[in-house]
Structure 1
Amino acid sequence: MSISTLKPRLSFWQLWNMSFGFFGIQFGFTLQNTNTSRIFSTLGADIGSLSILWLAAPLTGMLVQPIIGYLSDNTWHEFWGRRRPFFFAGAILAAISMFLLPNASVLWLAVIFLWMMDSAINISMEPFRAFVGDKLASEQHTAGFAMQTFLIGCGGVIAGLLPTILTDYLGVSNVPVNGAIPDTVRYAFYIGGSVFAAAVTWTVFSSTEIPPADLEKFKQERKNNQGFVKALVEILSGFAKMPKTMVQLALVQFFTWVAFFAMWVYTTPSVAALVFHTADAQSAGYQEGGNWVGIMFSVYGGVSALAAFLLPVLARITSRKLVHMLCLLIGGVSLASMFLITSKMMMLLPMVGVGIAWASVLTMPYAILAGALPANKMGYYMGLFNFFVVIPQIIAGVVLGPLVKNFFSNQSVYALVIGGVCMIVAGVLCLIVNDDADVVSTV
């Protein structure tokens, strides 16, 4: 009898409780993704340096997630369990960072606060992926990741709309005064930090964890694994031991995350230029464009929340990799099409396709991967898998800025076109992925 068959089937509300923390995590990420370029530009960053300044996000992910994954694999506490200590600590640190970032008075300070915020979010987020593998039998993996995707989408919708709600309905100023960050952004981050901490705390105290099958053996192995050098060697050696499916998915992830990085960095200046006809970050038009990008991103978050429960059904009818391929193709064409749009309302249409892709990106690769990983190293390999999320973003951060500045005359929309093409390539590469579920279904 396999370990997975011994895990009880969880109810809808149990899946909800164990995933609810992701609502808060995505609240934080959406505020970061929709407002970081706006904050940097308001504090004086030029279009050519935006992608470099954004490197804090992927670099912290690359450094933090494998370490946290390794540490959480080797943690057990009778009350806190294995993953939940990291959920909680990361949430507190992230909330503090979210109060600090929009109060930065100079660009370099904003970059430091972004490093702090992204590191904290990654501490809280990384164990959530392994949490699904820990608690759910293999037949519930897709449902578990779909629930996370649904709550991610819900968090993204509200966070994306928040600056506009504050401006249009509560009368909060959306204009930078003396070069400072607008009040709308500051208050949105205060709310976001509070929601982040509250949502993750809900999961921490409403969910339990399954102890190691042989607790005494686990304690002995944990004792043997102590030591920084030993831990570092084991973390780095994992690259040579990656399952074949993980290597195949890594190629898909590479091109996928170039696309999303390009979208997060360059949508605000692109919309400001194409729709509001300004490149001046101190202008009311640019800040209005920043609010509209929040609405756009809330659309793709909302679509992803709706698609989250449809994708597993389609995957059962066809296959997970086929569904992922189609979603990425739709998302790539949609992202590239923004080049042709100058209407504010029409800018919402590509976000529908991006939302379909986003739902699949948050569900299918992890569902496929979870079935190919050893249970005792689930957290570590999920953290290692994050390398193939952050490395493409680092490369994009180094390359896209000079391309936009030197080859596209500071027209940032071309970065979105490049991102769309990369997402289409990622979709095609899904054809090389082997999914163990496909093999089982044919037996």
Structure 2
Amino acid sequence: MSDAELVLRSTRVVTPRGTRAATVAVSAGTITAVLPYDAAVPATARLEDVGDHVLLPGLVDTHVHVNDPGRTEWEGFWTATRAAAAGGITTLIDMPLNSLPPTTTVGNLRTKREAAAGRVHVDVGFWGGALPDNTEHLRPLHDAGVFGFKAFLSPSGVEEFPHLDRAQLARTLSGTTGFGGLLIVHAEDPHYLAAAPQRGGPRYADFLASRPRSAEDTAVAALVAEAGRLGARVHILHLSSSDALPLIAAARAEGVRVTVETCPHYLTLTAEEVPDGASEFKCCPPIREAANQDLLWRALADGTIDCVVTDHSPSTADLKTGDFATAWGGISGLQLSLSAVWTEARRRGHGLEDVVRWMSARTAALAGLGRKGAIEAGRDADFAVLAPDETFTVDPAGLQHRNRVTAYAGRTLYGVVKSTWLRGERIAGDGGFTEPKGTLLTRPR
């Protein structure tokens, strides 16, 4: 500790070995030691004593749509990463679609990185995209440092990012398996979606009926079958149907390399409470019933669901019409994800160690970010300081997202983020932000 430049002290530090009073030493942006609470502080080190606030590892959100460049009016790197920092997120990985161009070639990745350079308040990495016609670009993108490849099994909602059919999925999985890549998949079956009633209009019940659980369940079954046949590594995005959970558990028991995420809105919002016409609640797959939500929480507790990510997918307010059929499908959640999940987790008897496991440790592991996701020696000094028992009521005017449309408006949440730290530097706190200090990440080799 003698070479420490910064020392953070808290009566509650969440570490991989439990929560305890501790002193955390930092040098050159790296945690060098986690010591007893009363450890002596070198005279050359700056002490930040956060008292009884909880010191968490910075969250890692592996599912974020920044939309920059091309649809920057929906969201941009500056605003998205400020929102992340305000919510205790220190690393995010950007999805390859909803920007123009999509991240589907090395040249497009270069364009994306140029748009982000110097404008990110947190560390940012990039997923590549897997399309029916870009198979030859996957290995070069992998070599250029993307963290894996996103694919849709049903229409994505944007014409420049078409979905894969069953044969194209198999071809893509064969390719990514050959070089050790990860395929992350939006799993809904287009045939089941097409067969579902499509009524349109303001009734949420009609929208829910148009995206049945069977569409998710069938697509998940097809995906794990192909992954098992080819020995591929796959990740199921934003699972909302609890009916798919036994299938996932069985596939894992048979050795299929499959992981799965869900999202704060599936864990904290229910179909029964969505007002008609309130398309700020629209997302795909949809928010389902309370009984379904209970089973998602059970799957988080037993490890069937690995992690929780935002699927932050904003748009301009004019695209959030009162017609659920035509409104843009996506929920903005970066700034509120920690507080939303913690509010419901504590009500259900879970602790902050569970939240850290779901939203930091396991997401970092999914992306292979060995320096993120934990407070222990050798990791990046990325922290969130949280007052877990303080509450606030969500006011859209206080959000950092570019378009302040939120399904959480008016909700009272537990957990106030007091400050956020990136590699030992405070980047957000007391309502203010530093100039951007984030870096652009590539997949660790």
Q: TM-score range by the shorter chain?
A: under 0.3
User: Of the two structures, which has the highest relative contact order with CA contacts closer than 8 Å and spacing of 6 or more?
Assistant: 1
Give the structure with the larger helix fraction.
1
TM-score, with length taken from structure 2: 0.22
TM-score, with length taken from structure 1: 0.22
Give the structure with the larger strand fraction.
2
